[in-house]
Structure 1
């Protein structure tokens, strides 16, 4: 349980850092970044597999590039539900999702 809490706190810090350096992403406070981390975790666990299954034919036709669109859509869904988290454009949420994935992967190496 402690590893879960530490992991999400570090992801929330990464969200604040990424929002500072990626123009088009804005986070109001650390509490907002915690909510964004939890919402992204929830969507990646429950909604993303369903979207991947439904979009399988398109993903095959685009050689997997459509998965990037799914990541951007998930970031926009989080921005819709979490007040204080705003996203503009296509490239900023794409870079944001890459950054969060990278941080999550690195943290997974240390905490698993």
Structure 2
């Protein structure tokens, strides 16, 4: 049950972040739920591989390269989902940061 609530909160965070950022477009809340599921799967399977492959760069940048990896995951989700559009890399980077902040606030509230 906790996973479903987390998906709903992540979908809500994605919709709110798309309202805040002008370069992000989500067609509907169903698309946001699909986005939350795809991001969960990509973060489970693809992100650890990217983190392991980029350990030296992550160490040199004191962990800031993880934001780049997060933006790449969001751009990959943009490629996979039809109703989700991100205009570019910087927008994906900002979307990841804003979505993480909104998701943390929603987790704190609920």
| TM-score of the two chains, using structure 1 as the length reference | 0.86
Structure 1 unmatched ranges of 5 or more: none
Q: Which residue of 2 aligns with 1:92?
A: 91
Q: Name the CA distance, whole Å, in 1 between partners of 2:20 and 2:104.
A: 20
Structure 2 unmatched ranges of 5 or more: none
Q: Which residue of 2 aligns with 1:66?
A: 65
Cα deviation 1:73-102 (Å, max 9, x = unaligned)? 000000000111001123221121123323
Query: Is 1:13 equivalent to 2:15 in the alignment?
Result: no
Moved over 6 A (4+): none
Paired residues of 1:12 and 1:30 also in contact (CA < 8 A): yes
Query: Is 1:77 equivalent to 2:76 in the alignment?
Result: yes
Q: Name the CA distance, whole Å, in 2 between partners of 1:74 and 1:5.
A: 21
| Structure 1 residues 19-34: aligned runs within 5 Å | 19-34=18-33
Paired residues of 1:18 and 1:96 also in contact (CA < 8 A): yes
SS of the counterpart of 1:26?
Answer: strand
Structure-2 change in CA distance of 1:89 and 1:46 (3 Å): same
Cα deviation 1:39-64 (Å, max 9, x = unaligned)? 11111111111100000111122222
Structure 1 position 66, deviation (Å): 1.4
TM-align CA RMSD = 1.8
| TM-score of the two chains, using structure 2 as the length reference | 0.87
Paired residues of 2:9 and 2:107 also in contact (CA < 8 A): no
